Chain A
Amino acid sequence: MPEQRLLGQTPSQTVGPFFGYALPYVGGPDVRAPWHSDAIRLHGTVYDGAGDPIPDAIVEIWGADAAGRPSTERGALDRDPHGFAGFGRAAVDRDGHYSFTTIKPGALRAGSAPYVLVTVFARGVLQHLFTRAYFADEPAANAVDPLLTSVDPARRSTLVAEPDAHGSYRFDIRLQGEGETVFLDYGTEL
């Protein structure tokens, strides 16, 4: 039984299709300015259950710095381009594609692998979906990560971003169907 909360929580609703003039912001996809030597690209396409790209999704990422520490730098919206605030937001384009520049985070603690937290919103998604993008070039850490190893091996690769160019990782997100991405439940109160 979930413990009793004092207050009933406010339900989620879809972001709808018409967020494009409101939620995206200048610099939103640039968590780390691309001209920094440690910047990486994290990009991919968001697909629906028919395998078609979704043209009206918005993706957020939240990641630790290279030492595995969450940023406490203020100004995640109005960001200092020399800094690293850890948070990014990118709407997909008409082909369902999103792209961030960020840094490859360090592992949060010993025995776990580095990952970027990814959140997906879209028309038709009544409650946003959380997932994590791990990195394929961390095989040793991935092999012992508590979350990755708890996932059905057949689905594990959906949580792993694949290098597709120097400093670039591809992380496609499939909301349903063949290769459906593993989405996470943090045990939050329902």
Chain B
Amino acid sequence: MLSTPSRTELSQRTISDEIADRQALERDAAASAGRGLEAHPRRDFAPYRSTVLRHPTHELVRADPEEIELVSPAFGHTDVAAEENDLTIQHAGEPLGERIIVTGRVLDGDGRPVRNQLVEIWQANASGRYVHKRDQHPAPLDPNFTGVGRIITGDDGSYRLTTIKPGAYPWKNHRNAWRPAHIHFSFFGSAFTQRLITQMYFPGDPLFALDPIYQSIVDPAARERLVAAYDHDVSEPEWAIGYRWDVVLTGPRSTWTEPEDGDHA
């Protein structure tokens, strides 16, 4: 070799090998420590090249959440218009693509509904193109689709949106890199420490195994939780294909109490 391959010359095989090696290391480390695999992605997941210079190298500092961290901003129905949950009616005409309904509940780790909280979504159109000036993927923009929605969860923590199934798109992490189709979701819980931004995927996508962003979650059961389920009861005749996707937000292990002297060691 005359030089190290540039990022665009890296093959999928190289990236896939890196994913397999890293996941094996994580499994071994968890097994020898007698613990399970963590649900969240590894921050320093090198097969996803953008993490390399963007993950902290120091261990995070343990903080006892104070009151401001254990409450959330007060969103409400006045923040969001009811029709913002339908991404197919934002323009004069019908967007192109497969119309879908996505519904589910937002819960905390004890199964309690996360009520009256803001859910924001954004996504590419059916061709895999975002309405974003830095997205130069040569796929058509759809004049009838922007791909932005907002919802306030109901009393049972539920949300429901109507949209278009997004397309896969290329993203230059390596040669021939394609993201699995996904919808970005942003959630607020009842505490700010529950804040979550994630991506919902579609069942059976052949790109899962190849995608370093999806595979940055080492635990296969945790990865699966990002995949919506087809739900025939959500599908509407002559209208839309339905998916169900429930979301569980984290919480602190214990609620905040007055710290005692010396418990910050």
Contact = CB atoms under 8 A, between A and B. Distances in A.
A and B found bound together: yes
Interface of A: 2-3, 5-23, 48-50, 52, 54, 56, 60, 62-64, 70-78, 85-87, 105, 108-109, 112, 117, 119, 121-130, 132, 146-147, 149-151, 155, 175-177, 180-190
A54 B54 contact: yes
A13 B199 contact: yes
B42 A126 contact: yes
A129 B121 CA distance: 20
Contact of B68 (A9, A21, A117, A146): A117
A185 B60 contact: yes
A71 B74 contact: yes
A109 B66 contact: yes
Interface stretch (B18-26, B33-41, B234-242): B33-41
Main secondary structure of the interface of B (DSSP, over half): loop
Nearest to B134: A17
B33 to A, nearest CB: 12
B40 A11 contact: yes
B74 A122 contact: no
Interface in B63-80: 63-69, 71, 73-76, 78-80
Contacts of B89: none
A126 B43 contact: yes
B100 interface: no
Nearest to B75: A76
Given A11-B41, A50-B53, A74-B79, A128 B251 contact: no
Given A129-B56, A185-B62, A188-B193, A7 B111 contact: yes
Given A13-B184, A126-B42, 8 more contacts: A10-B247, A12-B40, A70-B67, A74-B79, A75-B74, A112-B66, A126-B43, A184-B61
B38 A22 contact: no
B122 A19 contact: yes
A124 B173 CA distance: 11
Contacts of B61: 147, 150-151, 182-185
B221 A23 contact: no
A2 B253 contact: yes
B251 A188 contact: yes
B197 A128 contact: yes
B146 interface: yes
Contacts, number: 258
A13 B197 contact: yes
A121 B197 contact: yes
10 contacts: A6-B110, A11-B39, A18-B135, A74-B79, A77-B118, A126-B40, A147-B61, A180-B58, A185-B63, A189-B109
Contact of B197 (A12, A49, A112): A12
A76 B74 contact: yes
B210 interface: no
Contacts of B198: 10-13
B15 to A, nearest CB: 15
Nearest to B63: A184
B144 to A, nearest CB: 15
B250 A9 contact: yes
Given A6-B111, A11-B39, A183-B61, A21 B56 contact: no
A22 B148 contact: yes
Nearest to A188: B250
Given A12-B197, A49-B54, A62-B73, A21 B78 contact: no
